[in-house]
Chain A
Amino acid sequence: MSLWLLLLLPLVGACCIFPARAPLAKWIALGTSMIVFVMSIIMAVQFQCWGTSGICLRSPMPWINSLGLTLDIGVDSVGMLLVLLTTLLTPICIWGSFTAVSKRRREYYAWLLILETAMLGVFTAQDLILFYVCFELTLVPMFFLIAIYGGDNRAHASVKFFIYTFTGSLIALAGFVYVAWQYQVASFGTWSFAISDLTAFASTQMTSTEQAWVLLALLSGFAVKIPVFPVHTWLPLAHTEAPTAGSVILAGVLLKLGTFGVYRFVLPMVPEALVVYTPLIAVLAIIGILYAALICWVQDDIKKLVAYSSVSHLGFCVLGLVALNPIGLEGSVLYMLNHGLSTGALFFLIGMMYERYHTRDMNVIGGLAKKMPVWSVFMVFFVLSSVGLPGLNGFVSEFMCLIGTFISTPDAESYPGVLGPCYAAFAALGMVLAAMYLLIMVGKVVFGPLREPEHHHEHHVLSTDLSAREIGVLAPLAALCIWIGVQPTILTDAMRGSIEGVLAPYPAIVEQLELQEEVAIVVEEEQNG
Chain B
Amino acid sequence: MNGLMQLISMPIGMPAVPIDQIINAPQFAWAGFILWLPLLSLILCGVCAAMKVKTKLPAIITILSLAGAFVLTAMLFLNYEGPVTIHLFDWIQSHWSDGAFIANFALYVDSLTLLWMLFVTGLGTLIAVYASEYMEHDLGKGYTRFFAGVSVFLFAMGCLVMGDNLLMLYLGWEGVGFASYWLIGYFYTKPSAVAAAKKAFIVNRIGDLGLALAIYLIWSTFGSVQYDVITTAMESHQHDAAFGGWTVNLIPYLLMLAAFGKSAQLPLYVWLPDAMEGPTPVSALIHAATMVTAGVYLIIRTYPLFFLDDYALPVVAWVGGLTALLAATIGMAQYDIKRIMAYSTVSQLGYMFLGLGVITSFGAAYHVFTHAFFKAVLFLTCGAIMHGFAGQLDLRKLSGLRHMKGWKIVSYTMLIGCLCLAGFPLTSGYFSKDAILAEAFVTHGPGFKVLGWIAIFTAGLTAYYTFRVWFRVCCGEKMYEAGDELHGEDPASFHPHAPRIAINTVLVIVSIGAVLAAVPYFTENTTEGLHGGWVAEMVNDSPGKHGLPGMAHGHGEDHHGSILGMDPHKAMYYISATVGFIGIAIAFFFHLLNRKAADKVRSKLLSSRTTRWLPTAMEHKWYVDEVYIALIRSPLWITGKVFALFDKYIIDMLIVNGTAAMPRIIAKWFAPLANGSVQSYGVSMVGGALLVGLLMLFMPEIVELIQYVSAQSGGGQ
Contacts and interface: CB of A to CB of B under 8 A. Distances in A.
Interface stretch (B109-117, B186-194, B699-707): B186-194
A418 to B, nearest CB: 16
B214 to A, nearest CB: 11
A477 B482 CA distance: 48
Nearest to B99: A414
B35 to A, nearest CB: 12
Q: Name A's interface SS.
A: helix
Given A489-B90, A492-B93, A294 B201 contact: no
B92 interface: yes
Most buried by A among B170, B206, B640, B652: B640
B95 to A, nearest CB: 7
A327 interface: yes
A472 interface: no
A493 B656 CA distance: 42
A436 B202 contact: yes
B670 interface: no
A221 to B, nearest CB: 16
B96 A435 contact: no
Interface in B603-660: 636-637, 639-641, 643-644, 647, 651-652, 655-656, 660
Interface stretch (A2-10, A83-91, A140-148, A399-407): A399-407
Interface in B174-213: 174-175, 178, 181, 185, 188-189, 191, 194-195, 197-198, 201-202, 205-206, 208-209, 212-213
A297 interface: yes
A443 B205 CA distance: 16
Contact of B96 (A164, A326, A428): A326
B578 interface: no
A406 B217 CA distance: 8
A295 B639 CA distance: 8
Contacts of B191: 448-449
A496 B105 CA distance: 21
B194 A428 contact: no
A521 B175 CA distance: 49
A510 B215 CA distance: 26
Given A413-B98, A425-B213, A428-B209, A489 B92 contact: yes
B101 A403 contact: yes
Given A295-B644, A431-B205, A443-B194, A400 B94 contact: yes
A23 B171 CA distance: 48
B216 interface: yes
A137 B715 CA distance: 49
Contacts of A60: none
Given A233-B647, A489-B93, A403 B640 contact: no
Q: Name B's interface SS.
A: helix
B708 interface: no
A391 B640 contact: no
Contacts of B247: 421
B91 interface: yes
A386 B339 CA distance: 33
B198 A443 contact: yes
B219 interface: yes
A406 B189 contact: no
A424 interface: yes
Most buried by B among A295, A428, A446: A295
Interface in A485-528: 486-489, 492-493, 496, 500
B213 A424 contact: yes
A325 interface: yes
Interface string A176-201: 00000000000000000000000000
Interface string B405-434: 000000000000000000000000000000
A439 interface: yes
Given A295-B640, A367-B189, A390-B170, A325 B96 contact: yes
A431 B198 contact: no
Nearest to B641: A298
A20 B215 CA distance: 58
Contacts of B95: 326, 496
Given A325-B96, A449-B189, A298 B640 contact: yes
B220 interface: yes
A100 interface: no
Interface in B461-516: none
A384 interface: yes
Nearest to A406: B216
Nearest to B639: A294
B603 to A, nearest CB: 38
A403 B219 contact: yes
Most buried by A among B89, B206, B212, B637: B212
B526 interface: no
Given A294-B640, A295-B647, A439-B201, A448 B189 contact: yes
Contacts of A443: 194-195, 197-198
A421 B220 CA distance: 10
Contacts of A413: 98-99
A496 to B, nearest CB: 7
A424 B216 contact: yes
B21 interface: no
B94 A435 contact: no
A28 B637 CA distance: 48
A220 to B, nearest CB: 13
A306 B268 CA distance: 28
A233 B96 contact: no
B713 interface: no
A415 interface: yes
A428 B94 contact: no
B717 interface: no
Interface in A448-469: 448-450
A300 to B, nearest CB: 10
B189 A447 contact: yes
B636 A294 contact: yes
Interface in B90-134: 90-99, 101, 105
A449 B194 CA distance: 10
Interface in A381-425: 384, 389-391, 395-396, 399-400, 402-403, 406-407, 413-415, 421, 424-425
A370 B189 contact: yes
Contacts of A446: 188
B202 A414 contact: no
Given A390-B171, A407-B216, A448-B188, A500 B202 contact: no
Given A294-B639, A396-B92, A489-B92, A447 B212 contact: no
B101 A414 contact: no
A432 B202 contact: yes
A70 B566 CA distance: 92
Most buried by B among A413, A415, A435: A435
A384 B220 CA distance: 28
A402 B188 contact: no
Interface of A: 160, 163-164, 230, 233-234, 237, 291, 294-299, 325-327, 330, 367, 369-370, 384, 389-391, 395-396, 399-400, 402-403, 406-407, 413-415, 421, 424-425, 428-429, 431-432, 435-436, 439-440, 443, 446-450, 486-489, 492-493, 496, 500
13 contacts: A233-B651, A291-B647, A298-B640, A367-B188, A367-B189, A369-B189, A400-B92, A400-B101, A402-B212, A403-B215, A449-B191, A486-B105, A488-B92
- A-B pairs, top 4 by smallest CB distance, nearest first, are A294-B640, A390-B171, A233-B652, A447-B188
